[in-house]
Amino acid sequence: MRDIVLNVNGKTRHARIEERTLLVSLLRDTLGLTGTHVGCDTSQCGACVVSIEGETVKSCSVLAATLPDGTAISTIESLATSDALHPMQQAFSECHALQCGYCTPGLVITAIDIVRKNPEGLTPDLIRKELKGNICRCTGYLNIIQAIMRGAAAMGVPTLAAEGEAQ
């Protein structure tokens, strides 16, 4: 067993865990943050994506005990306030970019990271490339791409239609 101290969604959280505990299990089972989903158990689908120190990571591929004390982790629960959704969450809702919602937390965290990494602007082609680690089994990706474009615009990042595409 190991005692760890992490900064999860801006709050200091203490936990006593087994060395083999995956970060996704710590978040869901120990800390009760069930917005992060386990979708495939093989690090393929992206439903478990969280931000660790500002970088998106599949939390099912991280042993929680390997994180240094004080590591900052942000989950989907950190985005909305009691009054409003994050602009990317709002865009996913407005563009009907979800169906069952299982992949949505990982997609939203990834989408925000895509916007952060591309402040000069986004195109649908760039978004398709950047979403390679996230799988949605219910919807077509058209609405997801439109949502990310809308969310990026709401976050102040320019969006450009790909050649031959309407924006």
Digit-coded pLDDT (tens) for 99-139: 888 999 999 999 999 999 999 999 999 999 999 989 988 87
Contact 103, 69 (CB under 8 A): no
* pTM more than 0.95: no
The identity of residue 74, as a single letter, is S
Domains in the chain (CATH in brackets) are 2-77 (3.10.20.30), 87-154 (1.10.150.120)
- Dihedral angle of Cα 20, 70, 4, 76, to the nearest 10 degrees: -60
Contact 58, 49 (CB under 8 A): yes
pLDDT band at 9; cut points 50, 70, 90: very high
3-state secondary structure of 58: strand
Contact 34, 23 (CB under 8 A): no
Is residue 105 within 8 A of residue 76, CB to CB? The reply is yes
